Chains A and B, each alone.
Chain A
């Protein structure tokens, strides 16, 4: 008997011939926050949560995204080469800082040579301060938001939901998903939180609207 059949057989033996019907799972926890996506209070909550985990947040109106992104990059990187910034292919031209290069599918490790990345997001969850990137052209492939040391994410107000269940309901379970809550961090030394280990050490969120 192969391992698969044997393990399945053991499970059937363990559960016995008259296995009880599984009890129904009651989902009487909060399925929704109650506030609609983009509600001003949700935006405030998102900002509070992001800042609590040492992300920086700047807000702007829709026409000012590129200017705001450029300002944020200057703040994070100082004077820098424009070509040091790589953007996800689906990022609208109206968001891109001058001189930024587009991710063209080069070998993933080559992305490490860039100083910063600009992407959009798929959804943001206010209660936990979480951004979700879904591998779409707007979010970019996973290595893009990982290797450069500074990550700038543009979040549109309508993408901001309140709770984790609302956030997951908007996602495609088959997509390569990355949920990001603040910059990379560790608490492995004396439980003291240190931001920035292997992932981007700087996370800037540009909240539009």
Chain B
């Protein structure tokens, strides 16, 4: 059963950042040639892979935690409506207001309206994938509201007029020298002698944002988890920018995808072990903030929770693909992915890059709008191995390839070839003939052990960089039959 069949809308085009303007192979072509990018990414992903492996290795019950993490998410999705209703009740009972948004456009309108109601013309933001996804900053800007990103990496991206390329470390594609250049160019009053030492760069960001935190009246955050039974929200972070936003302003607006709900408080004991070790490679991230509604005298006195669908229910309708909704955005799959490491996050064209992006983005938008992403994987399976909630990403990739193939209304040359091959491979006599035809390829080699490097497409896409052996005159099964009288 597919969402298309059921009439459940996917994320609308024209708003947000789920669709690229080029196919993955085209976008990857540029990044593969960018030696600086390749060096930055190779260094960063290797570093974080090592850290993750070390801290995961010291947890004796990792496999049990991982299975519990998977099972909780599966159980949550199976009763998602009930958990969201419970969450709404609890948040409301504790002084918060819950809003529902069918898609990015509606979510942006709700948040804009809420900010305008406070009279503020600027907001401070905690790093949030959901607000990146819906393009909230652009929507606020259009309404004359300045949105200040406060996470160091998001700040780098925002000041550099760049786009994020990693879920956890959005500026992973930039090195210290490039970041220094961005700060010198865009930060008012920055020391012109600023060195490219990461500590000094971080301190420059601290100074730049300090005053903004202290004057901010409205903050916007995402949420890592929302507990249905208690109405507790959780934001996991490192720098303290999250705490600044969640604590100091009068008004807090939290934007959350509907799949982030977990049923019970106890479920956090699983995810607060799985998430930090998988994402930053730490035993625990420096700061985790948890709050339920409004606490008099402590923190924001006006709290809004915006629950966003934006294609998630369409994902939920796919029995195979819905597992992608289990993602806790740790980004471990990005860090181990050989394709991500080389092509970089921008090649995926969506705020969700890497293996999880390759299964999530096409489902949120409908596979035809991100048709090249399910193929952006060698199916090596490293992502599945490290996923803390055991999302079988390779199987979903293969499933989405089939969804794409089956959605074609016109017969492609590839489809013709695969159908012909299917017919041949299911009829032994035809298959022998096809093998013999393949063997004729040896005449192209004119006696050489490999075929020419200048074969016509699509074979050229192999032979441009790799030799192809000359097919033998006789297959193994033919020779065996000849020798054994078959």
- The answer to whether A and B interact is yes
B97 to chain A, nearest CB (A): 12
- CB contacts under 8 Å to B, within A1-33, are 2-4, 6-8, 10-16, 19-30
Select one of B3, B61, B100 contacting A14, CB under 8 A.
B3
Closest to A30 in B: B61
- Known contacts A143-B248, A189-B202: does B176 contact A181 (CB below 8 Å)? no
A185 within 8 A of B: yes
- Contact partners of A53 in chain B: CB under 8 A: 282, 286
Within B237-291, which residues are at the interface with A (CB < 8 Å)? 238-241, 243-244, 246-248, 258, 265-266, 268-270, 272-273, 276, 280, 282-291
Stretch of A63-71, A93-101, A127-135 contacting B (4+ beta carbons < 8 Å): A127-135
B8 to chain A, nearest CB (A): 5
Take A30-B60, A184-B286 as given contacts and tell me if A199 and B179 are in contact as well, using a CB distance cutoff of 8 Å: no
Asked if A191 contacts B48 (CB within 8 A), the reply is yes
Does the CB pair B240–A146 fall under 8 Å? yes
A36 at the interface (CB under 8 A from B): no
Say which size band chain A's interface belongs to: 35 or more
Of B148-156, B186-194, B415-423, the stretch lying at the interface with chain A is: B148-156
* Given known contacts A20-B78, A187-B169, A174 and B230 CB-to-CB distance under 8 angstroms: yes
Contact status B68-A29, CB under 8 Å: yes
* Chain A residues within 8 Å of B295, by CB: 135, 175-176
List of A residues within 8 angstroms of B272 by Cβ: 164, 168, 179
Of the listed stretches B306-314, B347-355, B430-438, name the one at the interface; the rest are far from the partner chain. Answer: B306-314
Closest Cβ of chain B to A113, distance in Å, is 10
Q: A residues within 8 A CB of B288?
A: 177-179
Query: Is A188 an interface position by the 8 A CB rule?
Result: yes
Chain B residues positioned under 8 Å from A127 (CB to CB): 283
Q: Give the complex CA separation of A53 and B230 in angstroms.
A: 31
- B313-337 CB contact bits vs A (8 Å, 1 = yes)? 1101100001000000000000000
- CB of A190 closer than 8 Å to a CB of B: yes
Cα A190 to Cα B61 with chains together (Å): 31
Q: How many residues of B contact A (CB 8 A)?
A: 101
Chain A residues with Cβ below 8 Å from B61 are 28-30
A197-B205 in contact (CB<8A): yes
What residue in chain A is nearest B272 (Cβ atoms)? Answer: A164
Assess whether B175 is interfacial by the CB under 8 Å rule.
yes
Contact A197 B202 (CB under 8 A): yes
- Nearest-neighbour CB distance to chain B for A154, whole angstroms, equals 19
**Interface pair A49/B283, CB less than 8 Å apart:** yes
Interface string of A132-175 (1 = CB under 8 A from B): 00010000011100100000000000000000110011000111
User: Do A173 and B292 have beta carbons less than 8 Å apart?
Assistant: yes
Give A29 to B273 CA distance when docked, in angstroms.
Answer: 11
Is A183's CB under 8 angstroms from B64's CB? Answer: no
The complex places the Cα of A195 from the Cα of B7 at a distance, in Å, of 50
Among B9, B79, B81, B100, the residue within 8 A (CB) of A3 is B100
B5 to chain A, nearest CB (A): 10
Asked if A37 lies at the interface with its beta carbon under 8 angstroms from chain B, I say: no
Q: Are A130 and B284 in contact (CB under 8 A)?
A: yes
Q: A178 CB to closest chain B CB, in angstroms?
A: 6
> Closest CB of chain B to A195's CB: distance in Å?
8
Flag B298-310 by CB within 8 Å of A: 1 or 0 each: 1100000001010
Determine whether the beta carbon of A188 is less than 8 Å from that of B151: yes
Kindly list chain A residues whose C-beta atoms are within 8 Å of the C-beta of B299. 141-143, 176
- The reply to whether the CB of A41 lies closer than 8 angstroms to some CB of chain B is no
Known A-B contacts A142-B298, A176-B298; the reply to A10 vs B206 at CB < 8 A is: no
| Contact of A197 with B201 at beta-carbon distance under 8 Å, contacts A15-B316, A23-B74 already known | no
A194 interface hit (Cβ, 8 Å): yes
A74 at the interface (CB under 8 A from B): no
Cross-chain contact B94 with A13 (CB below 8 angstroms): no
Contacts of A35 in B (CB 8 A): none
**Segment of B28-36, B39-47, B470-478 in the binding face:** B39-47
Residues of A within 8 A of B169 (CB): 187-188, 191
B111 contacts A by Cβ under 8 Å:
no
A197 touches B152 (CB 8 A): yes
Most buried by B among A30, A127, A183, A187: A187
B74–A16 touching, CB < 8 Å:
no
Most chain A CB within 10 A, of B7, B238, B273, B316, is at B238
Contacting B313 at CB < 8 Å: which of A7, A16, A141, A142? A7
Interface residues of A in 23-64 (CB under 8 A from B): 23-30, 49, 53
A74-99: CB near B (< 8 Å → 1, else 0) gives 00000000000000000000000000
Tell me the minimal C-beta distance from A51 to chain B in angstroms: 13
Residues of B within 8 A of A183 (CB): 286
Which residues of B sit under 8 angstroms from A182, Cβ to Cβ?
286
- CB nearest to A201 among chain B residues: B206
Chain B's closest residue to A31 (CB) is B269
In the docked arrangement, what's the CA distance between A200 and B65, Å? 32
Q: Tell me, yes or no, whether B214 is within 8 Å of chain A by CB.
A: yes
Whether B64 and A173, one on each chain, are in contact in the complex, defined by CB atoms closer than 8 angstroms, is no
A184 in complex: contacting residue of B64, B240, B298, CB < 8 Å: B240
The reply to whether B74 and A22 form a contact with Cβ atoms under 8 Å apart is yes
In the complex, which of the residues B210, B266, B284 has the most CB atoms of chain A within 10 Å of its own CB atom?
A: B284
CB of B380 within 8 A of chain A?
A: no
Say yes or no: B8 contacts A14, CB within 8 Å.
Answer: yes
The verdict on B117 contacting chain A, using a C-beta distance below 8 Å, is no
Can you report 8 residue pairs joining A to B where beta carbons are below 8 Å apart? A3-B99, A22-B79, A23-B75, A142-B243, A164-B284, A174-B292, A186-B152, A190-B198
Beyond the given pairs A173-B265, A190-B43, A191-B172, 15 more chain A to chain B contacts, judged by CB atoms under 8 angstroms and listed by A's residue number, are A3-B101, A8-B81, A11-B84, A22-B78, A22-B79, A141-B297, A173-B232, A177-B288, A179-B272, A180-B287, A183-B286, A185-B238, A187-B169, A188-B151, A190-B198
